Amino acid sequence: MKWKTFVFLGLLIVSGFWIYCEIDHGIAPLPGKLRATVIFKNPPAPENTEGIYLIVAPNFPPHAINEMYHSPNSLPVDQDTVITEMDLPYGRYEAMSLWWYGTDITSNLADVMALPLDIHNNLMPMAFEITPEAPVFEYSLYANWNIVDRTAAIEGTVSFNGPFPENTAVTAVAAYRYIPEASVHYLSYLKSIDFSIEDNATHSYEYRLPIRHGEINYICVLWLPEQAALTDFSTIGFYRDPDNPEEPGSLRIRAEEVATNINLEADWSLINIPTIELP
């Protein structure tokens, strides 16, 4: 299925996977090193934790699997602080992150537990460089177990006003604590996302979105075309305030609660279509 291929690649690109993805550098050792101090907050880890992995991307967002560097084994999940190292070639890296993988649920882009953002660069992911003069880069990553402890859920129906475009890569339902205002926010603000909407679905889709309890201020339908970056989503619908339909609706969900009838209408006319200048 197309969406399954996209999710698989997306996890490798943004979050990594349990297979070690590395560029072939021959038998020579990599000259540089990232030394990360991982500080876990709000332990313990959820019972369904399989592991947590360190990921580094030379480009953000990456467009190929072999652009990723990924720790081959999970970090210890029963310690408050873990120091880990990754060998890297000299160069500039545009993102580092920690990715969580569970044993009993489908993982998605919301399973990034830590993605440091640069407040001096429009909240883009924190970049770093490894050079012969400074071959070791050290950084502290803060991983909050609460992010992936999703004991509540949102349920509803997505209604589409027509057939899916032929160039559909993925259509998803996503939930955010804050309304995304820039393309990178579609990843950095993400609380949960469901990629399982098939592009051959009928005009409606019943969804169930696992989520952590608390305040949700934006629930939307996202669409991404083929060969697009993971930050190039179009919002084609959102959950509306029942008392003020022009504004997004908000929810406050308790632990173990399921919010039902959170319905969304998706309008294909809202797709962002690039302007093509004729000669």
Indicate if 134 and 206 belong to the same structural domain: no
Confidence of residue 56 (pLDDT cuts 50, 70, 90): very high
The verdict on whether omega for the bond into residue 210 sits within 30 degrees of 0, i.e. cis, is no
Q: What is the pLDDT of residues 86-133, one digit of tens each?
A: 999 999 999 999 988 887 655 566 788 888 888 888 767 899 999 999
- 3 state SS of 147: helix
Indicate if 6 and 144 belong to the same structural domain: yes
* Distant-in-sequence, close-in-space partners of 43: CB < 8 Å, separation ≥ 6: 80, 145
pLDDT value, residue 106:
58
Residue range of the domain that includes 66: 2-148
Confidence of residue 273 (pLDDT cuts 50, 70, 90): low
Q: Is 135 a member of any domain?
A: yes
Q: Is 66 exposed, middle or buried (0-12, 13-18, 19+ CB in 10 A)?
A: exposed
Q: What is the pLDDT of residues 169-214, one digit of tens each?
A: 888 999 998 898 877 778 778 888 887 787 665 688 899 998 989 9
Q: CA 279, CA 265: separation in Å to the nearest integer?
A: 38
Indicate if 162 and 126 belong to the same structural domain: no
Confidence of residue 24 (pLDDT cuts 50, 70, 90): very low
Q: CA 193, CA 172: separation in Å to the nearest integer?
A: 7
Phi, psi of 111 (to 5 degrees): -85, 15
- Is residue 151 pLDDT above 70, yes or no? yes
Indicate if 207 and 249 belong to the same structural domain: yes
Phi, psi of 253 (to 5 degrees): -110, 135
Global pTM value = 0.69
Phi, psi of 64 (to 5 degrees): -145, 145
Indicate if 256 and 120 belong to the same structural domain: no
Q: Is 216 exposed, middle or buried (0-12, 13-18, 19+ CB in 10 A)?
A: buried
Number of domains in the chain: 2
pLDDT value, residue 194:
83
